[in-house]
Amino acid sequence: MEGRNEKLFSRKRSFTFGAYGGIDKFITGNESSCAESVGHSILDILDSPSSEAKPLTSAPSSQKVTELFAIIEKLQGSRLDEQRCEFPPPLKTRLLKIGDGLPLILPPKSGGYWIDPPLDRHVETSPTLSQGGFGLESYDIMERDSEAKVYQEFFRHRAPEVIMAFDEHRVSQNFKFGVLYQREGQLTEEDILSNNEESEEFLEFLSILGQTVKLQGFTGFRGGLDVSHGQTGNEAVFTSFHGREIMFHVVTKLPFTEGDTQQLQRKRHIGNDIVALVYQEGHTPFISDVIRSHFLHCFIAVRRIKRENEGEGGDGGSFQVSITAREDVPPFGPPLPTPPIFTEGSVLREFLLTKLINAEISCYKAEKFSRLESRTRSCLLEALRSELSSRSQCMLGEPSLPSVSLTEGGRSVPEGGGGFIENFKRAIRVRSHSFDTLGVPKKAGGVAGQRPKVSKYQ
Convert the pLDDT of each residue in 127-152 to its tens digit. Answer: 554 444 455 656 888 876 666 666 66
| Rounded alpha-carbon distances, angstroms, from residue 451 to 79, 213, 217, 218, 237 | 75, 8, 10, 7, 12
pLDDT at 195: 95
* Greatest pairwise CA separation for the chain in angstroms: 120
Residue type, 230: G
10 Å CB burial of residue 354 (0-12, 13-18, 19+) is: buried
Residue type, 350: E
What are the backbone dihedrals phi and psi of residue 165, each rounded to the nearest 5 degrees, phi first? Answer: -65, -40
Residue type, 418: G
pLDDT at 372: 80
Of 168, 163, 171, the C-alpha closest to 143 is: 171
- Measured CA to CA, the distance from residue 11 to residue 323 in angstroms comes to 58
pLDDT at 131: 45
| Rounded alpha-carbon distances, angstroms, from residue 129 to 103, 108, 135, 253 | 19, 23, 13, 35
Check the CA dihedral 291-236-186-184 and report its sign. Answer: positive
pLDDT at 429: 58
Encode the chain (458 residues) as per-residue pLDDT tens digits: 445 444 444 444 333 333 333 333 333 444 444 444 434 443 444 445 444 444 445 555 666 666 766 666 665 555 444 444 444 445 555 555 555 578 999 999 999 999 999 987 545 445 554 444 455 656 888 876 666 666 666 776 778 777 777 776 667 789 999 999 999 999 999 999 999 999 999 999 999 999 999 999 999 999 999 999 999 999 999 999 999 999 999 999 999 999 988 999 999 999 999 999 999 999 999 999 999 999 999 999 999 998 766 655 445 589 999 999 999 999 999 999 999 999 999 999 999 999 999 999 999 999 988 888 778 778 878 887 888 888 788 877 776 555 445 554 444 444 445 555 565 565 555 455 444 433 444 444 444 445 555 555 55
DSSP assigned state of 408 = B
pLDDT at 148: 61
> What CA dihedral angle connects 280, 281, 283 and 285, to 10 degrees?
-20
Q: Are 226 and 254 in contact (CB under 8 A)?
A: no
CB neighbours of 42 closer than 8 A, spacing ≥ 6?
A: 13, 16, 71, 75
pLDDT at 200: 96
pLDDT at 139: 80
Of 400, 429, 435, the C-alpha closest to 413 is: 429
Of 189, 397, 194, the C-alpha closest to 290 is: 189
DSSP assigned state of 101 = G
Q: Are 300 and 352 in contact (CB under 8 A)?
A: yes
Q: Helices (H), strands (E): how many in the chain?
A: 14, 11
- Measured CA to CA, the distance from residue 442 to residue 178 in angstroms comes to 31
In what helix (H) or strand (E) does residue 322 lie, and over which residues does it extend? strand 318-326
Express each pLDDT in 114-123 by its tens digit. 999 998 754 5
Which residue(s) pair with 214 in the sheet? 235
E strands within 118-187?
174-182
Of 256, 108, 116, 232, the C-alpha closest to 181 is: 256
E strands within 150-229?
174-182, 211-214
pTM metric for this prediction: 0.64
- Measured CA to CA, the distance from residue 363 to residue 111 in angstroms comes to 18
CB neighbours of 85 closer than 8 A, spacing ≥ 6?
A: 24, 27, 30, 31, 34
Helix, strand, coil percentages, rounded to 5, for the chain: 40, 15, 45
Q: Are 195 and 443 in contact (CB under 8 A)?
A: no
β-pair type (318-326, 174-182): unpaired
pLDDT at 458: 58
pLDDT at 317: 80
pLDDT at 455: 56
**Other beta carbons less than 10 A from residue 423's beta carbon:** 22
DSSP assigned state of 411 = B
pLDDT at 140: 86
- Measured CA to CA, the distance from residue 71 to residue 48 in angstroms comes to 11
Q: b vs e for 15-30, b when ≥16 Cβ sit within 10 Å of the residue's Cβ? A: ebeeebeeeeeebeee
